[in-house]
Amino acid sequence: MRVWNKTLVMPSTESVATSVDKTFSEHARGMGGYPCSGYGSAAEFFATYFDASERLQSYDAFLTAHLPREARTLSIASGRCANEMRLVSRGYCIVCSDLEPVCPGPTRALFPDYAFMKWDAMADPIPVDRFDAAICLSFVYLLSPDALDAFMERVRAVLAPGGLFILDAAGSPDHLVANVLHDVVLPLDARLSCALFNLWARARGRERRVVRRKHHGYRYADTEFIAAARRHGLVLEAISHMDFENEWMRMIAYRRVLLRVPFVRAAMRRVGRRIPYVRMFAFRCKE
């Protein structure tokens, strides 16, 4: 396990919580504020929140391959529910859950089968009716090792015997390439881009930017998830790594400069296979 720190470049007048997000409004801010635009039609919703995201499309590929359509499924920490609504619109049976719903009125207007349960996955009582399956996308990076252990126990309790748990690792692994990227390259990249911006801002009398460091969460190796699940009777059935460019996109220099250089993208996607942003696991509850 590696602590995941983020280096942020931001206006000097803005502040950010330096510890792991806890409240729903902190999470919402991290997700760009969860605006309720783009809900004019189902097509507009998916064009806005799904089609351009390699992360969500990777989830969809794994979910459609492994989740049975008829399984009564709980989605834990569902956020905007873009993947969930994609599945619901194809006939899957999913109850979304989060600390708060995101745009519930517009979501229900587009998807009449939208079901939401306000549920703190780490603290609220386990629902009485067990689920055939649970899915959890982009959440476990928030959990310390003890919290991850407690979470696996709660997932097992949510599932009926033989139930399926589909987990996304929610970040790249604790691996040398990812560690150098996060602990060395990204802080340097942020400082360089901040310094360049401030030169430009001083010449034009604009507001300065500063670099701030935030404890974003934790990055785990595959083996750590598999072992934590196993301790609670959840046995690995399938695993898949996807989305090999997402981590490079965090670099301002990559987005602004390197992407324009011929062949760089293909080369970086190749190296990126070592630091997949999406790592999907399917576990079976053996009780």
Shortest separation between residue 181's beta carbon and ligand SAM, angstroms: 20
Could you tell me which residues come within 8 angstroms of residue 147 by beta carbon, excluding any fewer than 6 positions away? 122
Question: Residue 43: exposed, middle, or buried by beta-carbon count in 10 A (0-12, 13-18, 19+)?
Answer: exposed
DSSP-derived pairing of the beta strands 115-118 and 93-98: parallel
Q: Say whether residue 120 binds ligand SAM (CB under 6 A).
A: yes
Q: Say whether residue 250 binds ligand SAM (CB under 6 A).
A: no
Neighbours of 282 (CB within 10 A): 22
Q: Say whether residue 272 binds ligand SAM (CB under 6 A).
A: no
Q: Say whether residue 31 binds ligand SAM (CB under 6 A).
A: yes
Residue among 78, 138, 143, 148 at smallest CA distance from 114: 78
Main-chain dihedrals φ then ψ at residue 166, nearest 5 degrees: -110, 120
User: What's at 206, amino acid-wise?
Assistant: R
Q: What would you report as the CA-atom Rg of the chain, rounded to the nearest whole angstrom? A: 20
Could you say which of 62, 74, 87, 98 contacts ligand SAM (CB under 6 A)? 98
Q: Say whether residue 138 binds ligand SAM (CB under 6 A).
A: yes
Burial letters for 90-113: b for 16+ Cβ neighbours within 10 Å, e otherwise? Answer: eebbbbbbbbebbbeebbeebbee
Name the one range near ligand SAM by CB under 6 A: 3-11, 75-83, 153-161, 266-274.
Answer: 75-83
The two three-digit tokens of residue 267, written as one number:
């080369």
Which residue lies nearer to ligand SAM by CB, 60 or 253? 60
Shortest separation between residue 122's beta carbon and ligand SAM, angstroms: 4
Could you say which of 8, 16, 24, 153 contacts ligand SAM (CB under 6 A)? 24
Q: Say whether residue 77 binds ligand SAM (CB under 6 A).
A: yes
Q: Say whether residue 137 binds ligand SAM (CB under 6 A).
A: yes
Shortest separation between residue 138's beta carbon and ligand SAM, angstroms: 4
Which residue lies nearer to ligand SAM by CB, 136 or 229? 136
Could you tell me which residues come within 8 angstroms of residue 52 by beta carbon, excluding any fewer than 6 positions away? none
Q: Say whether residue 159 binds ligand SAM (CB under 6 A).
A: no
Which residue lies nearer to ligand SAM by CB, 122 or 185? 122
The two three-digit tokens of residue 105, written as one number:
């009125």
Q: Say whether residue 78 binds ligand SAM (CB under 6 A).
A: yes
Could you say which of 7, 20, 50, 79 contacts ligand SAM (CB under 6 A)? 79
Interface positions with ligand SAM (CB under 6 A) = 24, 27, 31, 77-80, 98-99, 120-122, 137-139, 142
